[in-house]
Structure 1
Amino acid sequence: MLLNTIELGPENGDLSRPPVVFLHGLFGRARNFGFFQRRIAATRRTLALDLRNHGKSPHGPMDYPTMAADVHETLAAHNALPATVIGHSMGGKTAMMLALQHPAAVHSLVVADIAPGQGGFAQYNQLARELAALPLPGFLDRAGAEAWLGQVIADKPVRDLMLMNLDLGENPHWNIGINEITASMPAIVGWPAIAPGIHYDGPTLFIAGGRSHYIQPDNYPVMRQLFPHYRLDTIKDAGHWVHAQAPAAFLALVDAFLST
């Protein structure tokens, strides 16, 4: 599946270095990384992708091998391999799977606040089912959509995230594959079995939020097994949305990683 892609790059820059690719999290879209893409695009070719069922990309069943295959196919079509791949949450799991399935396609890897294993997205599992079952009215403006989403989402940042996935006005509708996402939640929360001996030898940076629980010490052995050259940095005052909650610190870590 070819994914919708936002590409930015320097007018006069060194395009010989690997491009930088951004993969968003669950219920997100390519634009979530806009600040970082614009900054890095000053000197590097960059591509931000809408994963399947998100943004403007096609819809279909989801699991990490399938999503990694989408990313590989899309980057190959853009002549953007090998690439440095930066993924947050679900996008981080997709990026890790891409590196394990196609190690030659990944120059280096940045994983934001997710581990290679079962877990994460606990608050979204029930939410996806509730949103899919919530009848849409015949008209929604922004204020109405806030109230409509408020029936099942108490947290305003999560409501704001989901508002991006609604087309408002007459006959409002989801612009994401809400039913496909709901059906695929067990695979999204999960992590497939990796065959013995499979690993990615390239440089790998995990960035954890200090107030998040998505990367725990009991994940470290599997992280070392699959990504033997990984480093873990923690931004102590950030939660799971580490790049949104601490953008300057996140950008500094990514810039330092890219420079080495």
Structure 2
Amino acid sequence: MKLHFKKTGAGKPLIIVHGLFGSSDNWFSIAKELEKNYTLYLVDQRNHGDSPHSEEWNYTVMADDLKELMEDERIHSAYFMGHSMGGKTVMKLAMNYPDLVEKLIVADIAPRFYPLHHQQILEGLNAVPVDQLKSRKEADDILTEYIKIPGIRQFLMKSLGRDDNGKFIWKINLPVITEKIGNVGEELKSDAPFEKPTLFIGGANSDYITEKDKVDIERFFPNSRLVYIKDAGHWLHAEQPAAVIETVKAFLK
């Protein structure tokens, strides 16, 4: 699949992959600092942002999408950074195609299985009648019944766009994501470990990477280290961008 992406900066390629319900826009503030030293590719994963929609949605095809992007851009190897679902995508890429990945950064996710925990969000998104919607405020009012935290609603509303006729649409492929949401929590396994330098960045206030996860991390990524960002939860790049930028810069150097 030909993914939509934004390219900026100069230097060694660094491909950044967003998480569930997100898009390349989530990484703009980080990109402004990193583009001084790297050629950045801010990617919209399939069924998200401005990339195409597909009934096929799992980590194998999402990793293959990144491989195809590299082939199209004639990139032989690159640095990769992925957050949450995007972190699992880049882990899968490193497991399947280790030669394509020079260094790997995984933000607040481990290779283990995660149980369903997005049902309330999906109920809210599906409750919005986009084909009848008159304003963004109307959508926000409906989402408020399901999602009380304004920051989460604001993040989700970034996926509310308009078609060529000016009618509201979800830019995410909501039907497929709703049907196949279990794929997001899939456990990743590999017969061969990824031996190249890998950095796991966790939010100190997040429970996505626990002490128990260190066993799998060290088994599949033996040349890795884990750093926790102080005063940050799962959305560490939004909550503590300066700390994330400095951590990433130090690792890539």
* Same topology, TM > 0.5: yes
Write out the 4+ residue segments of structure 1 that deviate beyond 6 Å after TM superposition: none
How many positions carry a matched residue from both structures?
250
1:190 and 2:186 are equivalent in the alignment: yes
Superposition pairs for residues 210-221 of structure 1, below 5 Å? 210-221=204-215
1:116 aligns with one of 111, 114, 124: 111
Q: Which residue of 2 aligns with 1:141?
A: 135
Q: Say if 1:120 and 1:214, in contact at 8 Å, map to a contact too.
A: no
Relative to structure 1, is the Cα distance of residues 154 and 235 closer, same or farther in structure 2, using a 3 angstrom cutoff? same
1:73 and 2:61 are equivalent in the alignment: no
Q: Which residue of 2 aligns with 1:238?
A: 232
2:82 aligns with one of 70, 84, 87: 87
Aligned-residue offset at 1:234? 0.4
Q: How large is the Cα RMSD of the aligned pairs? A: 1.7
Name the TM-score, length of structure 2 as normaliser.
0.93
Aligned-residue offset at 1:152? 1.9
Tell me how far apart the structure 2 counterparts of residues 140 and 232 of structure 1 sit (CA, whole Å): 46
Q: Say if 2:127 and 2:142, in contact at 8 Å, map to a contact too.
A: no
Tell me how far apart the structure 2 counterparts of residues 113 and 202 of structure 1 sit (CA, whole Å): 19
Q: Say if 2:131 and 2:169, in contact at 8 Å, map to a contact too.
A: no
Identity %: 35
Greater Cα offset, 70-79 or 138-147: 138-147
Name the TM-score, length of structure 1 as normaliser.
0.91
CA-to-aligned-CA distance 1:181-203 (integer Å, 9 cap, x gap): 111211102224x24x3211110
CA-to-aligned-CA distance 1:20-55 (integer Å, 9 cap, x gap): 110001000011111122211112111010001000
Tell me how far apart the structure 2 counterparts of residues 248 and 126 of structure 1 sit (CA, whole Å): 31
1:258 and 2:248 are equivalent in the alignment: no
Give the unaligned 5+ runs of structure 2. none
Q: Which residue of 1 aligns with 2:57?
A: 62
Q: Which residue of 2 aligns with 1:176?
A: 172
Q: Say if 2:195 and 2:221, in contact at 8 Å, map to a contact too.
A: yes
Tell me how far apart the structure 2 counterparts of residues 90 and 121 of structure 1 sit (CA, whole Å): 13
SS in 1 for 2:205: coil
Greater Cα offset, 148-157 or 202-211: 148-157
Q: Say if 1:114 and 1:120, in contact at 8 Å, map to a contact too.
A: no
1:4 and 2:1 are equivalent in the alignment: no
Give the unaligned 5+ runs of structure 1. none
CA-to-aligned-CA distance 1:43-79 (integer Å, 9 cap, x gap): 2111010001000001112111111111111122112
Q: Say if 1:6 and 1:30, in contact at 8 Å, map to a contact too.
A: yes
